Amino acid sequence: MSKDIVCTIDYPGGDKKFRVYLDSQKTPLDLMREFQPQIVQNQNKITFYFKQVVLNPNVPFLDQNIKDEDTILMNVEAEGG
């Protein structure tokens, strides 16, 4: 039985927080694609962390033990220096 959850994405670099709905199939890669046009310029890379661990971009959030009301940290890094 799948259940949608609501999480907070904390983006300290942009001093922003976002509320997102995650269904059982949504992956960090899906979320990266949603945020890319809004936040990332040039060839920057988005990484999501939960409890100081990098989330696998291809594995659904729920399969990585993300629960309702958790906070996920989003980091944007310049690719290639």
Domain count, the chain: 1
pLDDT in tens, 15-55: 889 999 999 999 999 998 888 777 666 667 889 999 999 99
Token reading at 48: 């999501």
- Taking the model in full, what pTM does it have? 0.84
Question: Distance between CA 72 and CA 81 in Å, rounded?
Answer: 25
Q: Is the pLDDT of residue 65 over 70?
A: yes
Give the domain extent around 19. Answer: 5-78
CATH code: domain of residue 71: 3.10.20.90
Mean pLDDT of 51-67: 96
CA torsion, ordered 80, 43, 12, 72, to nearest 10 deg:
-100
Question: Distance between CA 46 and CA 40 in Å, rounded?
Answer: 8
